[in-house]
Chains A and B, each alone.
Chain A
Amino acid sequence: MRYLPLSDTDRGEMLARIGVADIDALFADVPKAMLLDGPVDLPRRKSEMEVERILSRMAGRNVAAGSVPFFVGAGAYKHHVPATVDHVIQRSEFLTSYTPYQPEIAQGTLQYLFEFQTQVAALTGMEVANASMYDGSTGTGEAVLMAHRVTKRRKAVLSGGLHPHYAEVVQTLSRMSGDAVVAMPADVMADEDIIGRIDGETSCVVVQTPDVFGNLRDLTAIAEAAHKHGALLIAVFTEVMSLGLVTPPGHMGADIVVGEGQSIGNGLNFGGPYVGLFATRQKYIRQMPGRLCGETVDANGERGFVLTLSTREQHIRRDKATSNICTNSGLCCLAFTIHMTLLGQAGLTRLARVNHANAVKLADMLAGVKGVEVLNGAFFNEFTVRLSRPAAEVVEALAERGVLAGVPVSRLSPGAGLDDLLLVASTEINTDDDRAALVAGLKEVL
């Protein structure tokens, strides 16, 4: 077997050195009846070529986003990732290292985490960021728990503009931990009265912008209302690219900003791995979940970086920890950081503008199609349209024509009476031909 260096001769010599007769002598603590006497019922080993053949066949049964006009978003976005990113993250020293428990030989990882934390803080307009969560949705769950710790209250109010999957993750966690959740109904037009739901028992208000329907929301008034009641504002985003162009939540009074970082540096990957971004105010750092990288010096006085404030974490604090998270999204952070570094704010702003311009252009074209109504006033690179037919049917029909048109709201929120709504995303990848194909397809099926 190509991954196993030991030869049978080695094995024999090693068993002799250990002083046992055979390998099963080392498994003597496994109850005899439970020890398998041969391989389980699965195929035998395969060459690299055979494995490639099997997996390539499976991959070939999927429609790759890059092979068709593509407008699918709703929490994961197709962007162009520079070749440099994928090259660097595959360097052995990054790819095959682990959590930097021995900082003297992990300065590469620690320095990029420090850069990552600084970039995330700048993007979100916050003071500090952690070294990542699994993704935006689990990060949102952690943010709610953190707000409960900070306020010593146990009720979260969720906006109807929050991605339904994110809301479900928070609701699942809260139900299990016995915390209260007030989930507002789907808020397509961003006109809910969430301020009216904040009271003296509210720990946090969770609002997404751009929201799941694409609306940009001004959080200032909500932040003020929350703070007046002693609650925190948790601002969520699922499209980090938007922060290159729109006012960041940190400038609108948010206390915790959390979201999905996939759009920068990371591919679609059918939903994972992604990278959760998590930022807050300096005064709350001891209540934060997850790893934190901090600056220090070595015995020679030279600057270096270490994991820090680990007394918050499970390996020290155990059942009193701020979170149970251990492994997070290290390599996805690196991809994010390299892409962000290549962009710089100049490139990020321009790229965000291209996204917005493409979405505006597409919205205007779709508004001219009979049976399509664009619902949003303000949006970034995604918006909601009302169709004259159920959106799920339209998406299927367009998929048969080789166009991936977007996400039917009914896929996220079945039974909410929103079957005619379609979420349409447009990024820098879309060409005039893509837009024309979507318009032509819609004209055919509507």
Chain B
Amino acid sequence: MLNRQGRPTAAGQASDNAHPTFTGNKALAQVEPLLFEIGRYETTGVDIDEPEAFAPRLGGMERTGEIGLPGLSEPEAMRHYVRLSQKNYGIDSGLFPLGSCTMKHNPRLNERMARLPGFGDVHPLQPVSTVQGALELMQELARYLMTLTGTQAVALSPKAGAHGELAGMMAIKAAIEAKGEGASRRTVLVPDSAHGTNPATAALIGFQVKAVPAREDGWVHVEDVKAALGPDVAAIMLTNPNTCGLFEPQIVEIARALHDAGGYFYCDGANFNAIVGKARPGDLGIDAMHINLHKTFSTPHGGGGPGAGPVVLSERLAPFAPVPFVRQGASGLELVEHADEAGEAQPFGRVTAFHGQMGMYVRALSYMLSHGSDGMRRASEDAVLNANYIRAGLADLMSQPFGDKPCMHEVLFDDTWLKDTGVTTLDFAKAMIDEGYHPMTVYFPLVVHGAMLIEPTESESKASLDLFIATLRDLAMAAKAGDRDRFVGAPYHAPRRRLDETRAARSPVLRWTPPAPVQEAAE
């Protein structure tokens, strides 16, 4: 043992200033250049033998010249991407209270299941007789989704939430056209608090967007909807629980008013995770609702996808569901891939090349099977409990735009409480980074000034929430006590200090380009 031999272990006398390093690295915090600065055109990390000599049949269209793609050997590539990963914050790093995004634990069982060769290594156009298990899984997922939502049909194929919105709104448009009202019903009502995807989706397929206000209590009132209704209204797009973290108490009356006026109810299901197993959107009167499998059913967010956005449909919209879909046939499960094979149904078309996000279906079903009906209900309750616990822990220091009342799975604060501190919502969020947290969603919903939307999810323990609350209380008191520096320069300890987004947008640099060659000395 070295120490017994007298080798000193204490640091010597030195000023305790941080010393710049030769490499720029700071121990585990490594500087990592771009691939293009370390790779080489002749290098490859994959061993491939040249084919035997043969006469190409490319019709004279051989690519010539450098492609511009450097390679790395396997150890270099591994190190490059592992180092990059270390500059990222994920759910497994700590609390990730990004409101509306539902950053819950991603069980690794789901990853293992999605990688079974019978799911991961199956081609979408194999003979249907060779994919009966895949179709069975889709049927089973569909059954779970319909049961949990109390609906009669589901279109599985949309690739993400916004794509599910598009498919749902297309089904509504098709239903309206089938009634001969396509020319007259061209307006879609969207509250100002909606996700940006809602108005963008409606506009994409030619609807005019008309705002409906939310009142001072954060809710959409049936009288306001009624006032906006008319023979021109095709649908309303309403998020429930809404983006302020509140359940819309008048939703049943809103649905009835809409149906009486001949319109359809599109529900944005981004927040379905608050009520899974507690209430069924179909019972509430919705006609279509997408489900973000990557939010409610725990498929990984992967740095921004892939997601999956199956859209459940009411009986009135079911006939218009897009192809492809699975159907029970005489000799097993069938895939209906073309409108003219759909029998009575009138599919509005197709939204993607194949059958949707199978990899996400497997993960979501694995999660649902694991939780079971009892576990899913409990998960919703815990998500709501955790959000309210945070609300209770912060309500005396931070302001809530609609008063201190129970929320669903996320709690919304505004920036009134930061008035005169010189600290903005953004500054506050960046200071949270220094404390080891991913910030909450900020500046959304747009209807609330300086919004801070906190969604802890059911994955957090009480101890984790207690520390989070204590940290936010400390920060809030520091802001109020005038410790501006802690905020306006933050983050101080992240892999990067605050980044200049204005500069990025003013003169966009969207790809690496080789540095200009050094001028050769004149001969």
In the complex, what's the smallest C-beta–C-beta distance from B450 to chain A, in angstroms?
A: 16
Give the residues from 1 to 17 in chain A that come closer than 8 angstroms, CB to CB, to chain B. 1-6, 10-11, 13-15, 17
Question: Residue of A at shortest CB range from B503?
Answer: A296
Q: Which of A52, A70, A298, A411 contacts B113 (CB 8 A)?
A: A52
Give the residues from 205 to 262 in chain B that come closer than 8 angstroms, CB to CB, to chain A. 205-206, 209, 246-249, 251-252
1/0 per residue A258-270: CB within 8 Å of B?
A: 0010000001111
In the complex, what's the smallest C-beta–C-beta distance from A84 to chain B, in angstroms?
A: 6
Question: Residue of B at shortest CB range from A395?
Answer: B127
**Which stretch, B3-11, B12-20, B294-302, B476-484, touches the partner chain A?**
B294-302
| B372 adjacent to A46 (CB under 8 Å) | yes
- Which A residues lie within 8 Å of B27 (CB)? none
1/0 per residue B430-462: CB within 8 Å of A?
A: 100100001101001000000000000011111
A213 within 8 A of B: no
Q: Which of A11, A247, A317 contacts B63 (CB 8 A)?
A: A247
Given A88-B81, A172-B349, CB of A178 within 8 Å of CB of B354: no
In the complex, what's the smallest C-beta–C-beta distance from A22 to chain B, in angstroms?
A: 10
Q: How far is the CA of A216 from the CA of B57 in the complex (A)?
A: 10
B489 within 8 A of A: yes
Question: Residue of A at shortest CB range from B442?
Answer: A101
| B62 adjacent to A247 (CB under 8 Å) | yes
- Which B residues lie within 8 Å of A340 (CB)? 69
B40 within 8 A of A: yes
- Which A residues lie within 8 Å of B51 (CB)? 353-354, 356-358
| B117 adjacent to A117 (CB under 8 Å) | no
Q: How far is the CA of A332 from the CA of B301 in the complex (A)?
A: 11
Interface size on A, residues (CB 8 A): 210
A435 within 8 A of B: no
Of the candidates A19, A137, A363, the one having the most CB atoms from chain B within 10 angstroms of its own CB is: A137
Of the candidates A102, A118, A131, the one having the most CB atoms from chain B within 10 angstroms of its own CB is: A102
Q: How far is the CA of A177 from the CA of B58 in the complex (A)?
A: 38
- Which B residues lie within 8 Å of A60 (CB)? 118, 133
| A308 adjacent to B504 (CB under 8 Å) | yes
| A48 adjacent to B67 (CB under 8 Å) | no
| A134 adjacent to B354 (CB under 8 Å) | no
Q: How far is the CA of A66 from the CA of B126 in the complex (A)?
A: 13
- Which A residues lie within 8 Å of B35 (CB)? 115, 337, 341
Question: Residue of B at shortest CB range from A399?
Answer: B127
| B496 adjacent to A304 (CB under 8 Å) | yes
| A93 adjacent to B353 (CB under 8 Å) | no
A193 within 8 A of B: no
| A245 adjacent to B58 (CB under 8 Å) | yes
Give the residues from 84 to 98 in chain B that come closer than 8 angstroms, CB to CB, to chain A. 84-93, 96, 98
| B88 adjacent to A108 (CB under 8 Å) | yes
Give the residues from 298 to 320 in chain A that come closer than 8 angstroms, CB to CB, to chain B. 298-300, 302, 304-306, 308-311, 313-320
Q: How far is the CA of A39 from the CA of B512 in the complex (A)?
A: 54
Q: How far is the CA of A124 from the CA of B81 in the complex (A)?
A: 24
Give the residues from 402 to 454 in chain B that come closer than 8 angstroms, CB to CB, to chain A. 406, 408, 429-430, 433, 438-439, 441, 444
In the complex, what's the smallest C-beta–C-beta distance from A119 to chain B, in angstroms?
A: 6
| B62 adjacent to A246 (CB under 8 Å) | yes
Give the residues from 32 to 82 in chain A that come closer than 8 angstroms, CB to CB, to chain B. 34-36, 38-46, 48, 50-52, 54-67, 70, 72, 74-76, 78, 82
| A93 adjacent to B90 (CB under 8 Å) | yes
Given A11-B385, A27-B384, CB of A273 within 8 Å of CB of B200: no
| A342 adjacent to B71 (CB under 8 Å) | yes
Given A17-B389, A114-B34, A357-B52, CB of A3 within 8 Å of CB of B122: no
A324 within 8 A of B: yes
A295 within 8 A of B: yes
Question: Residue of B at shortest CB range from A2?
Answer: B370
In the complex, what's the smallest C-beta–C-beta distance from A279 to chain B, in angstroms?
A: 10
1/0 per residue B114-146: CB within 8 Å of A?
A: 111111111111110111111011001000100
Which 8 pairs across A and B sit closest by C-beta, in order of nearness? A344-B71, A378-B59, A59-B118, A271-B354, A61-B133, A172-B349, A331-B302, A347-B44
- 28 A–B pairs (Cβ distance < 8 Å), ordered by A: A1-B375, A4-B378, A6-B382, A29-B246, A51-B109, A59-B113, A62-B134, A65-B123, A105-B438, A105-B494, A106-B89, A115-B34, A123-B67, A172-B348, A268-B123, A272-B359, A285-B510, A298-B497, A302-B496, A324-B166, A327-B305, A329-B305, A330-B303, A334-B81, A344-B40, A344-B43, A347-B45, A349-B67
List 20 additional contacts besides A108-B87, A326-B161; criterion CB under 8 Å.
A3-B458, A23-B385, A26-B385, A36-B277, A43-B369, A44-B374, A55-B119, A78-B121, A90-B111, A96-B106, A101-B98, A105-B494, A107-B496, A109-B88, A244-B67, A267-B120, A302-B497, A309-B508, A343-B71, A396-B129
